[in-house]
Amino acid sequence: MPEIPVELYEKLKEILGNRMKTEEDFLEKYSRDETAELQGSKPGVVLFPISTEEVSQIIRLANEYMIPVTPRGAGTGLSGGAIPTPGGIVLSLEKMNKLIEFDEANLMITVEPGMITSEIQKIAEKYNLIYAGDPCSSESSTIGGNIAENAGGNKVLKYGPTGAHVYGLEVVLPTGEVTSFGGKMVKNVTGLDFVHLLVGSEGTLGIVTKITLRLMPKPRYSVALLAPFESVDAAISAVPALIKDAGVMPSSLEFMDNPSIKLACDFLNVSFPYSEAGAHLILEIEGNDKEAVADEYEKLGDICQREGALEVFVADNRNTREKLWKVRKAIAEALMVYSPVHCMEDVSVPTANIPALLKGARQIAKAHDLGTIAFGHAGDGNVHITFIKGKSSIEHWNTHLKTALANLYELTKNLGGCISGEHGIGLKRKKYLPIAVDQAQIDLIKGIKRVFDPNNILNPGKIIDV
């Protein structure tokens, strides 16, 4: 455990003044993120820089004194990526949350990393544009955190994950040097693609201090469909057909099993149609022409019915659509309240293998006598299978969860998938990484980490141990 020398405290104080915090309540609050099953660990200090220059100064000092630095956005991460090295520095980017430039001519926006994602969505909307990144946590997570984990969310099927929208990054490297990757160019093959190497690198290769995102014209019409099915299997079996047969790409294709919906509805104190159905799909279709959108949702609705939907509800106004999404987006929070001992997974498989994944996951839960619920982004193959302790003892949970996770990851690998689609490896899945990727890749990750961060001071111990 590193110990911050008094001399370093003093130098940091000089840079940050009262934006340096060592009070117990701060250290406690910044000891963890939202990963349910991980313990936190207390940092020695929490820093709130407000400029790239300050970030650079902090990193230079940390490097000199060899004290680990863990960058942090809103702390909503789900893989322990923001859990600090005990006694180290937490570098919170919450106060770097400003709009730097809205560039309407180039359809680009440049922001600081601490801006809440939904703020970006709102700014874009004002200009009849969209920022197409849409993680369920958009009201609380920061764009910097979204970039660290290459957050996915509800519109990946049509628009891709966070990284698909990121065109330029200003980065403070682990040496303290400041550089810029990419820019307002739609095309760029000048050197290596550092922008997308940084995206998803979980704060281990650099601290992002400015972000340029591409915006898109806002589709004039959005319609959501809600399709209840008798069982999980019936709902999930419809997913490959919806992707393959309709000839249109919905912007969203989400899945919620019965316990997920009940949790969310209880939490929000709302009702939901066909709340006793085994599972629901939510689809969203967007377009600029009302009739064209209607044709498309009819086609998707027909496929749902052909595949056994009990009914297909059409939500063609903002109010109804938002009600649906509110339930979908509340599941993770409801889990924290009603079932705090749980483990939310994030495996991602080829879409056609979703039925096999869900079936296998149920068998694993049953074999280990764990509860399980499932919800998520079925259309892109990323389902949040969640193990819950339920009524079993904590000892049983602690013993069986590890094996259940290893089994789930092996199943995923066998189905051609990966162990994290949008939450990241972080601390949580580090020891399971060798199930997912071979030794050559682990060696490459270590090698790249050493190139960027020779002293291993930036978020050490996340993804891999160097």
The yes or no reply on residue 380 touching a copy of itself (CB under 8 A) is yes
Phi, psi at 331, each rounded to 5°: -60, -45
Q: Which of 422, 427, 457, 462 binds a copy of itself (CB under 8 A)?
A: 422
Q: Which of 36, 38, 50, 249 binds a copy of itself (CB under 8 A)?
A: 249
CB of 84: closest distance to a copy of itself in angstroms?
21
Number of residues that bind a copy of itself (CB under 8 A): 90
Q: What is the residue type of 189?
A: V
Task: Give CA angle at 123 (120, 128), nearest 5°.
Answer: 120
CB of 251: closest distance to a copy of itself in angstroms?
13
Map the footprint of a copy of itself across residues 112-171, applying CB under 8 A. 128, 149-150, 152, 156-157, 160-161, 163-164
Residues whose CB falls within 8 Å of the CB of residue 327, separated by 6 or more in sequence, listed in order: 256, 261, 264, 265, 268, 270, 272
Kindly write down the DSSP assignment for every residue of 43-55, as one continuous string: -SEEE---SHHHH
Map the footprint of a copy of itself across residues 23-52, applying CB under 8 A. none
The yes or no reply on residue 107 touching a copy of itself (CB under 8 A) is yes
Short-list 250, 201, 256, 244, CA closest to 224: 250
The secondary structure of residue 179, as a DSSP letter, is E
CA distance to 71, 116, 366, per residue, from 137 (Å)? 19, 9, 30
CB of 389: closest distance to a copy of itself in angstroms?
26
The yes or no reply on residue 108 touching a copy of itself (CB under 8 A) is yes
Kindly write down the DSSP assignment for every residue of 84-151, as one continuous string: PPTTSEEEE-TT---EEEEETTTTEEEE-TTSBHHHHHHHHHHTTEE---B-TTTTTSBHHHHHHHT-
Output 338 or 432, the one with its CB closest to a copy of itself: 432
Phi, psi at 219, each rounded to 5°: -60, 140
Output 395 or 438, the one with its CB closest to a copy of itself: 438
CB of 384: closest distance to a copy of itself in angstroms?
12
Take residue 442 and report the two structure tokens written for it.
Answer: 């682990």
The yes or no reply on residue 244 touching a copy of itself (CB under 8 A) is yes
The yes or no reply on residue 100 touching a copy of itself (CB under 8 A) is no
User: CA-CA distance, 452 to 364, in Å (whole number)?
Assistant: 39
Q: What is the residue type of 193?
A: D
Stretch touching a copy of itself by CB under 8 A, among 224-232, 259-267, 321-329, 346-354 = 346-354
Q: Which of 10, 25, 126, 191 binds a copy of itself (CB under 8 A)?
A: 191
CB of 36: closest distance to a copy of itself in angstroms?
19
Q: Which of 9, 65, 100, 106 binds a copy of itself (CB under 8 A)?
A: 106
Output 280 or 377, the one with its CB closest to a copy of itself: 377
